[in-house]
A = this chain, B = another copy of it.
C-alpha cells in the first residue's frame, strides 16, 4: 500500500453531524438526511440489555450460540433454512459488509443508485467499484443484462469483479425488485461466478405483503450471503449489531472462515450485553412482532404523506413500497429551478433546501447518480418526534399525521416545496421560518 487509502466520510453521517450543529445553534431544522429511525427502544429489549450488563467476556468471534441460533430461526421463518454455524455477527451490518468485501476479495459490482457506503467501503478495502444501473422502479438490483455486459467489459479491462451487492428492499429508492428480476440476477451471478452480497436490512419493512422481497439466496443459495440487523426494524442503530448468513456450500464454508478471520482482526466480537438483547429480538416474541408491525405502519403513513407532497410539487417518484426512503426526481422542474434558484443539480438543490429552509436531504449523486441528476433522497424516519414520549405516541396513534409535531414537519415540507416551485426567487421572500 503505497498511497493512503481513499477515505470519504459517510455522506449520511456527515449530513447528520452538520444538521445537529445547526440545531444546537438554535435553527429549526428538519432532518431527512440519514435513515436513522427515530423511535424508542422496545422496553423488553431495554430490560434484556440491562440484565446482561454483567457480561464482559469476548465470547466467540462469530457471536454467541444463542444469537446465532436466534438469527437462524429468524431466517428460517422467512423461508431460508439456516445453519447457526454459518451465521456471523458483527457490530452492525456495516462492518460485516466491509469485512465481506475483504474476505471475498476482488472488485465489487454495486447497483446505481445504492447506499453511500458500498463504494466507499470497497475503495477503503482496496477494491475497484463497477457501478451498474437497476431497472426503473426496481432499485437495489443491477439490471442483469447490464450486469453481464459490465462484468465482461471489466474483465477485459483487467478488473477482477468477484461480488455483486444488492439491496432488497432498496435504499435509497424505497422500491423492491421483483422476484423475476432477482431470479435473473441470481442466474447471471452464477454464470459470471460472482458472490451475491444481499443486504436485506429493510426486509421487514415492505408495506404490502404482495411486494415481499425475494432473496437471491432462494435462487442462488450456493453463492449468496445475506446480511441484516436490528437497526431498521427495531430502531436499534445505536446498539450496533448485525448478522450475516453464509451459503451452505464449499464456497460458503471457505468464506465463513475468511470472514471470521477478518472479524477476529478488526472487531473481535460484538458487545456482549447487546448480543444478549439481540438474541431475544431475533427470536421474535409477540411484543417484538407487534413493535415491528407498528413501526412499519408508521413508516408507511408518513412516507406516503411526504411522497404526496413531492408529487404535488411536480417531482416524479416511483411508487413507494418499502423502507422509509423517498427518491424524488426534480427533472420536470429543471428549467424553473435553474431560472429561479440557479439550481442545476442535486447537490445544489440539497444545499438550497438545507441553507434556506433548514431541510437536510442528500443529493442523488451521493448514491452514485450522475452529478447533473436532480434526484434527492428523503428519509422520513426522523419525523416521529423529538422525545421518547412523542415517538411512542406516534407509534400507537390511530392517525399519526394528526399529531401536532408530525403535522408541523409536514407543513415545513409543504412550505419548503411551495417556495421551491414558486416563481419568486428566495431572496425576494426574505427569511423563512
Contacts and interface: CB of A to CB of B under 8 A. Distances in A.
Given A56-B237, A238-B55, A121 B266 contact: yes
B61 A13 contact: yes
Interface string A39-57: 0110001110111011111
Interface in A1-16: 1-5, 7-10, 13-14, 16
Name which of A53, A58, A127 has the most chain B CB atoms within 10 A of its CB.
A53
Interface stretch (A139-147, A200-208, A268-276): A268-276
A258 B120 CA distance: 13
Assembly of this chain: how many copies? Answer: 2
Nearest to A12: B264
A258 B7 contact: yes
Interface in A228-271: 235-241, 257-258, 260-262, 264-271
B265 A121 contact: yes
B237 A267 contact: no
Contacts of A103: 4-5, 7
Interface in A271-293: 271-274
A272 B238 contact: yes
Nearest to A274: B271
Interface of A: 1-5, 7-10, 13-14, 16-17, 20, 34, 36, 38, 40-41, 45-47, 49-51, 53-61, 91-92, 94-95, 98, 102-107, 117, 120-121, 124-128, 160, 235-241, 257-258, 260-262, 264-274, 388
